[in-house]
Amino acid sequence: MERNWMEEVCATYTWESPYNYVGSEKALSTALIGLRIFDPPLMGVADARDPLFEKMKEDSIIGQHALSPIDWLPQAKSVISFFLPFSKKVRDSNKVVKGWPSQEWLHARIEGQAFVLDLCRYLESILKEAGYINNIPVTDPRFRMNDKPPHFTSNWSERHVAFVAGLGTFSLSKGLITEKGVAGRFGSIVTSLSLTADTRNYTEIDEHCNQCGACMENCPVNAISFEKGKNHEPCGTFLDETAIKFNPRYGCGKCQVDVPCECNIPEKTVS
């Protein structure tokens, strides 16, 4: 199966799927009906036996609860990771509203994540029809967010997977900066299809971040600092507050917009 063909098919699906657009039955206002959530995805491929997957089990990275592709699927040969960039309208809306997430961003966070899973299942159906065995870890009953220290980790981190697949490196805010920036969502599928792994055009985990501090200044709860990066506790507390205010939706995303890495890899700052 051709990798380029899969990319084209997923791009077409993203443009045409009604699930990538806000429907009238869910729109928070009539002005949002038809809002496109994502631009077409970037795709990256990792070898299922890349040593970095085992390295993630170190306590200093994710922890022993992290599962490798082989843990999810013993027949695994490759991991397909993709990044769906938020549309310009979604991104721009969240720059205007101060303090709280915009309505567009709330849709992107909730309906957007639903589309991420939909695209995963669509890609899975293509691979299955071609005779390959697959697993979408975040839909597997074994998937879980860690309920013991270290909190705010899961046994399958989409951003770490994307790092291994060559899609980008981490930012000060712990987002992943891709060639299409940091504002968007990640998804992945483990498959028995053998694909050529992408080369990681970086060596450092934060190579694309220019340490400008814009995300730090944008954070409504001062959860980001040069010294410690992102403190997940105040961030999580604020997200809980948005879940109450905007129930059944939640979100923030201020660290992903109005920053140099919003929709591209930023230029390095000159010291």
* Model pLDDT, residue 64: 92
Could you read off the pLDDT of 194-215 as tens digits, one per residue? Answer: 999 999 999 999 999 999 999 9
Residue 88 lies in a domain: yes
Give the Å distances, CA to CA, from 146 to 73, 94, 152: 21, 29, 7
Instruction: For residue 106, give both structure tokens.
Output: 């709330």
The answer to whether residue 268 is domain-embedded is no
Give the count of domains, the chain. 1
Sequence-distant (6+) residues with CB within 8 A of 17 are 115, 118, 119, 122
70 occurs within a structural domain: yes
pTM of the full structure: 0.95
State residue 151's pLDDT score.
Answer: 64
Those residues with Cβ within 8 angstroms of residue 249's Cβ, 6 or more apart along the chain or in another chain = 106, 107, 109, 110, 242, 243
pLDDT tens for each residue of 242-262: 999 999 999 999 999 999 999
Per-residue pLDDT at 114? 97
Residue 270 lies in a domain: no
Q: Which residues of the chain have pLDDT under 50?
A: none
In a domain, 262, yes or no: no
For residue 58 the two structure tokens come to 């170190």
pLDDT, position 98: 86
Residues facing residue 78 across a β-bridge: 47, 191
pLDDT at residue 271, rounded to an integer: 53
Domain that holds residue 9: 3-256
User: Is residue 209 in a domain?
Assistant: yes
pLDDT for the residue 152: 76
72 within domain boundaries = yes
In a domain, residue 243? The reply is yes
Sheet arrangement for strand 134-135:
42-47, 78-85, 184-191, 134-135
